[in-house]
A and B are shown apart, each in its own frame.
Chain A
């Protein structure tokens, strides 16, 4: 066995530079990069108003509020809250239903294999991006301004936002459909519409349905907060009870949301499993 002389280590260092830590200029460049990253990280935190004192005092306040929430109480409003949560689920259901129906033709217009006119397809895709880039809560206040307060504005917000997202997902599903089957259908002399109906449609329907169910689950969550801007659902009461510091009722509403979301997730999960 050869001895580990400095000369041999140097030779190894030249042969396998990756196995050794950097030295000299490269080492200092690495350290400088880390230092700059740390400075930037701290600068950003400072810009956002982070501070240990604030964090400490806020945590204390949060624990105090958490203590006030126990035990959760209905405050005699159980029926109102139950109705509001039903309204929330209804908003999510209708919004998702409308979006998933609208997204089907839009998805076919945005997919490469069913929409050969490239400029049109790209334009359609850009519209999806614009719609998607705006959060459903922003759509909700826009619709509240146009159509007035209430759950209908929330339904429209969910429908519009989800049409953008679902159309994109549907378009991707259509593009990923197996081309062999379409070719087979075309070989029988089928027209364009028939190729879509018998070649592509059967392949993409399960994907459409599972995506739609996923979005229903996620929309139940989003619908719970649309009430913050007056677009219906349980969010209005949640915001209101926080503003008047009715903490036991706040806790009750949060629990109600948790239970509802869990039940919807469970049901949707079961349906999805059957679909696949």
Chain B
């Protein structure tokens, strides 16, 4: 028989142990914070002193809009709309081609990387390392290197984001491909199909909806990444944004940022709609 006193004692000792553990974690985080604050030159006094500058900086971005001359003021705000719009189109195109090329290589590589499908174990390991390298090196690093070797312009941007996309999607695609139903593969193989044919007719139809869905998600991410490529000369709207910020053209900054935000939100919405449709169609097929 356990008495009430024993239960209470057990409760208190368990509570003490938990409190001790929590204290340890809190202390570790506090220590890491102090260390990081020192390394990161955190200066709260400076932040406090410059708080008004935040207000005035962002305040100056608000354009002067009068009711009497609303269209004229808006036209003045977006005074270089044609140029910025062209930059925006470039940005979307960079993201599109980077996603398309990256996904194409990722699909080809995923069937090699997936352990259950790979033609040979060493090929799978090699492919995984290649993907890992491609997604760990930041896109902007690739972009700087590619601008150096391919010249200034959006092509360097496409190649940089494309390479990163290949790595990121290759990992996800590989995981999807590892979950394919082996019966379908065996069926195709029994007809005397080659490895490529088994992948094309046995594995690809199973994984296509997931691939498409991941690809669309990546496209959303890539539009955001493409918006800053211009900082290093790799094309898109980033070039104009960088110039506007560096030369303190406040209303230009807000105009470009607004165009960027609307575009990103719009693309997210469309992509989300498409992704739900793809998954919906897939669910229907699974139920049928």
- A interface with B by C-beta (< 8 Å): 44-45, 47-50, 54-55, 58-59, 61-62, 65, 83, 86-87, 89-91, 93-94, 97, 129-130, 133-135, 137-138, 141-142, 145-148, 150-152, 154-156, 221-222, 224-225, 228-229, 232, 235, 238-239, 242, 254, 257-258, 261-262
* Smallest CB separation, A79 vs chain B (Å): 14
Q: Which of B71-101 contact A (CB under 8 A)?
A: 89-90, 93-94, 96-97
Contact residue among B40, B93, B257 (Cβ-Cβ distance under 8 Å from A48)? B93
Q: Contact check, B264 vs A133: say whether CB atoms are below 8 A apart.
A: yes
Return A64 CB to nearest CB of chain B, in Å: 8
Say yes or no for B281: interface residue by CB 8 A criterion.
no
B279 at the interface (CB under 8 A from A): no
**Closest residue of chain A to B139, judged by CB?**
A225
Chain B interface size, as a band, is 35 or more
CB proximity of A101 to chain B, nearest CB, Å: 11
A103 to B286, CA, bound (A): 38
* Chain A residues, CB < 8 A from B265: 129, 133
The answer to whether A48 touches B94, judged by C-beta atoms less than 8 angstroms apart, is: yes
Q: A49-B155, A94-B37, A155-B42 are in contact. Are A147 and B227 (CB under 8 A)?
A: no
Task: Give the residue of A50, A138, A224 whose beta carbon is less than 8 angstroms from that of B138.
Answer: A224
Give Cα distance in the complex from A228 to B93, angstroms. 24
Report the nearest A residue to B226, measured CB to CB. Answer: A135
Q: Is the CB of A48 within 8 A of B153?
A: yes
Contact assessment for B40 and A90 in the assembled complex, using a CB-CB cutoff below 8 Å: yes
A258 to B54, CA, bound (A): 35
Give the secondary structure class of A's interface. Answer: helix
Report chain B residues within 8 Å CB of A147: 46-47, 50, 53
The answer, yes or no, to whether B57 is at the interface (CB within 8 Å) is yes
A91 to B41, CA, bound (A): 9
- B112 within 8 Å of A (CB atoms): no
Given A47-B90, A228-B231, are A138 and B241 neighbors across the interface (CB < 8 Å)?
yes
B33 touches A97 (CB 8 A): yes
If A44-B93, A90-B39 are given as contacts, then 11 extra A-B residue pairs at C-beta distance below 8 Å, sorted by A number, are A54-B150, A62-B146, A65-B145, A93-B33, A142-B253, A145-B245, A147-B50, A151-B39, A152-B40, A152-B41, A221-B136
The verdict on B36 contacting chain A, using a C-beta distance below 8 Å, is yes
A155 neighbours in B (Cβ, 8 Å):
40, 42
Smallest Cβ distance from A61 to chain B, in angstroms? 4
Say how far B38's CB is from chain A's closest CB, in angstroms: 8
Q: Are A135 and B93 in contact (CB under 8 A)?
A: no
Cβ–Cβ < 8 Å partners of B246 in chain A: 141
A54-B151, A65-B145 in contact; A141/B242 too (CB < 8 A)? yes
Chain A residues whose CB sits within 8 angstroms of the CB of B94 once the complex forms: 48
Residues of A within 8 A of B40 (CB): 87, 90-91, 94, 151-152, 154-155, 232
**Nearest CB in chain B: distance from A259 CB, A:** 10
List the 7 closest pairs (A to B, CB-CB), nearest first. Answer: A58-B150, A90-B36, A61-B149, A90-B39, A133-B261, A48-B154, A133-B264
A258-B136 contact given A61-B149, A229-B231, CB 8 Å threshold: yes
When distances are taken between beta carbons in the complex, the residues of chain A under 8 Å from B217 are: none
Residues of B at the A interface (CB closer than 8 Å) are 29, 32-33, 35-37, 39-43, 46-47, 50, 53-54, 57, 89-90, 93-94, 96-97, 133, 136-138, 140-141, 144-146, 148-151, 153-155, 158, 224-225, 227-228, 231-232, 235, 241-242, 245-246, 248, 253, 257, 260-261, 264-265
Closest to B96 in A: A44
Closest-CB distance, B32 to chain A (whole angstroms): 6
Q: Are B148 and A242 in contact (CB under 8 A)?
A: yes
Which chain A residues border B242 with CB–CB below 8 Å? 141
On chain B, the residues within 8 Å of A235 by CB distance are 140
**How many angstroms from the CA of A130 to the CA of B264 in the assembled complex?**
9
How many angstroms from the CA of A65 to the CA of B146 in the assembled complex?
Answer: 10
User: Judging by beta carbons under 8 Å apart, are B90 and A135 in contact?
Assistant: no
Could you write out 30 A-B pairs with CB less than 8 Å apart? A48-B97, A48-B154, A49-B153, A49-B154, A54-B150, A54-B151, A61-B148, A90-B40, A94-B33, A94-B37, A97-B29, A130-B261, A133-B265, A134-B257, A138-B227, A142-B253, A146-B54, A146-B57, A147-B53, A151-B40, A152-B47, A154-B40, A155-B40, A155-B42, A222-B138, A232-B41, A239-B144, A242-B144, A242-B145, A254-B137
Partner of A228, one of B36, B46, B140, B235: B140
CB distance A47 to B93 under 8 Å? yes
